[in-house]
Amino acid sequence: MDKGRVLVVGASIAGPALAWWLTKYGYEVTVVERAPELRAGGYKIDIRGAAIDVVERMGLKDVLQGLETDMRFMSFVNGAGKRMVDVPADLFMGRGEADLEVMRGDLSRILYDETRDTVEYLFGETVTGLDVETGDVTFGQAAPRSFDLVFGADGLHSAVRELALGGSALDDLGHLVSIGTVPNHLELDRWELIYSVPGRTVNLYSTAGSADAKVLFLTATPEGLFDRHDRPGQLRILEDTFRGVGWDTDRLLDGIAQADDFYFDTVSQVRLDRYSRGRVALLGDAAYCPSFASGQGTSLALVGAYVLAGELSRSEPAAAFERYEQLMRPYVEQNLKLGRDNLGRMVSKSKLQSWFGAQMLRVLPRMPGNDALVAKVTKPIHDAARAIDLPRY
């Protein structure tokens, strides 16, 4: 059952997940990834709602359960490092019983291992040209090739999106985020610490089975302009914004400067009028990045891969792409809204807001009727995670 030759650009989550489904439906798949090897780094990511059904249908739920981060508590610390409030991690993240939290790198590795024998992977490679009508593609290194279909799973700054649709789809939410692996100098064990001053938040956590810790710096800034390829310049922005703000921040700045997996970007969403053109379709962050603040980017990527491949298994490409978009759009919109709403709560605007947030979390576990309150607060997350009826293909 040879359905045709397809190219997938990007080997993180959306790309290998799509490759998994497309090979199952009889496509011959090539994946190109710009990085020289599978990118191992990453933070903890949630798999929720409809995405749980997808990993179950892929037969991967058990293995992912075995890799759960098993986070126990989140604590708010003050400038002297004193833990002011401890909150059970599941409560803080609004996690339902069925939801999974794993490291991004672990999920990516599993999807890659599942597909590496049936899919052609080309690392250190990228697309430089693309004809949406013919499927002719030129690469950075390899000779040009022709594909029946081309898929952009190449993330927030997608080259495929640029080549196929042009224009700017990025919606900058006015924050900068930086993450990296640092020494676990506080010997955290499945524990996350949050330090917040007006306009700036620092998170530090260590997950099950990890000897290191991950740090995240988040700041609200109207000046999101920086050179994406200038790491020293990005580190200078972090220095200027965070040096001397209190707690162990200075030590964490020294740590992230040495991180192999240093990540720095604006917090942005992707909004598109259409997810496809001609022989090309987009998925994952390339098509509908909801920003990390939604906690839903990975779930959207997994669900998008499932729906896109499933529709292609049923119909010819033009009809499949249309139906993919129809099914995904309401789900995407709800999660984009979630991302915007959450982000506003992640960086406090004033000392009073920081204090009030911490007090609420302190008293919440002891408040009468707290279950109902928690359910109300977490409802938007669960609703967004389930805002699609997954067809059975």
Ligand X SMILES: Cc1cc2nc3c(=O)[nH]c(=O)nc-3n(C[C@H](O)[C@H](O)[C@H](O)COP(=O)(O)OP(=O)(O)OC[C@H]3O[C@@H](n4cnc5c(N)ncnc54)[C@H](O)[C@@H]3O)c2cc1C
Which residues bind to ligand X, rule: CB under 6 A? Answer: 9-15, 32-35, 39, 43-46, 104, 126, 153-156, 159, 177, 179, 216, 263, 284-286, 289, 292, 295-299, 301
Give dist(CA 11, CA 196) in Å, integer: 34
SS3 of residue 255 by DSSP: helix
Find, among 328, 249, 247, the residue nearest to 284 by Cα: 328
Integer CA distances (angstroms), 38 to 29, 104, 105, 117, 287, in order: 17, 12, 9, 15, 21
Distance of CA 217 to the CA centre of its chain: 16
Which lies closer to ligand X via its Cβ, residue 140 or residue 209? 140
Distance CA 305, CA 19 (A): 8
50 vs 289 by CB, closer to ligand X: 289
Q: How far is the CB of 316 from ligand X (least distance, A)?
A: 25
Element (H, E) at 270: strand 263-270
Smaller CB separation from ligand X, 79 or 88: 88
The residue whose two tokens read 């059952």 is: 1
Cβ atoms of 194 and 74 closer than 8 Å:
yes
Least spacing, CB of residue 288 vs ligand X, in Å: 9
- Half-sphere exposure of residue 160, counting CA atoms within 13 Å on the CB side? 35
CB 287, min distance to ligand X, A: 8
Residue nearer to ligand X on the CB measure, 203 or 316:
203
Tell me the CA end-to-end span of the chain in Å, nearest whole number.
16
Nearer to ligand X, 99 or 248 (CB): 99
Residue (85 or 287) nearer to ligand X, CB? 287
Shortest Cβ 256–ligand X spacing (Å): 12
Residue closer to ligand X by CB (options 14, 307) is: 14
User: What's the closest the beta carbon of residue 85 comes to ligand X, in angstroms?
Assistant: 21
User: What's the min distance (Å) between Cβ of 269 and ligand X?
Assistant: 10
Q: How far apart are CA 341 and CA 344, in angstroms?
A: 6
Pairing of strands 136-139, 127-130: antiparallel
Residue nearest to ligand X (CB): 297
State the minimum distance, in angstroms, from the CB of residue 156 to ligand X. 6
CB of 7 to ligand X, least distance (A): 10
Cα–Cα separations (whole angstroms), residue 176 to 173, 201, 335? 9, 11, 20
Min CB(52)–ligand X separation in Å:
12
Q: What DSSP assignment string belongs to 177-206?
A: EEEEEE--TT--SSEEEEEEETTEEEEEEE
Question: Cβ 369 to ligand X, closest distance in Å?
Answer: 29
Indicate the residue among 215 and 320 with the shorter CB distance to ligand X: 215
Output 155 or 317, the one with its CB closest to ligand X: 155
Residue 84 corresponds to which tokens in the numbers above? 């002011």
Alpha helix positions (H), the chain: 14-24, 50-57, 61-65, 89-93, 104-115, 159-165, 231-242, 249-257, 285-288, 297-314, 317-346, 351-363, 370-385
Residue 267 phi, psi (nearest 5): -85, 110
**In the complex with ligand X, which residue's Cβ is closer, 229 or 392?**
229
